Amino acid sequence: MSEAGDPSSLETPRLFRVILPVSDIDRAERFYSELLAMKGVRVSSGRHYFDCGGTILACFDPRADTDPFSLGPNPDHLYFSVGDLEGVLRRAIRLKAEILDPIADRPWGERSFYLRDPFGNKLCFVDRSTLFLGREPFRPSG
């Protein structure tokens, strides 16, 4: 048996929840249910959870949860991998999300687009077949 503190006894941590600040939980539920094409579940008066492949996207409206504070948008992008990039873009446009950068092939090999949600959070959607995970050196084609 491994001793406490022995690195070989440690499991790799798994990210299981990401907080996405919103200022209107009902609007966030409608927006993200349509954008992500899933219903999610309301877990409290100010939290609506979406299971994104084992990591929970937690839309959180502190005021609706009776907390005495508000939150601004996340400072940087959240990244999602999807099988139908064009479908997500069509839904984002239909929802009037602010498209920050249209679908493009990125220098590191990913095909993606960027948007801002109605609450100021920046998101990126990446074609699942082009994910670059940083596990091997990137070699540009051509």
pLDDT tens readout for residues 41-61: 999 999 999 999 999 999 999
Q: How many domains does the chain have?
A: 1
Residue 118 domain-assigned (yes or no)? yes
Q: Tokens 């994104």 correspond to what residue? A: 52
- Cβ–Cβ under 8 Å, residues 50 and 43: no
Q: What is the CATH number of the domain that holds 118?
A: 3.10.180.10
Model pLDDT, residue 16: 97
Residue 64 domain-assigned (yes or no)? yes
Residue 1 domain-assigned (yes or no)? no
- Side by side, the strands of the sheet bearing 78-82 are 78-82, 122-127, 111-116, 98-105
Residue 54 domain-assigned (yes or no)? yes
Residue 2 domain-assigned (yes or no)? no
Model pLDDT, residue 134: 84
Residue 123 domain-assigned (yes or no)? yes
Residue 78 domain-assigned (yes or no)? yes
**What digits encode the pLDDT tens for the residues 13-48?**
999 999 999 999 999 999 999 999 999 999 999 999
- Quote the domain boundaries for residue 114: 14-130
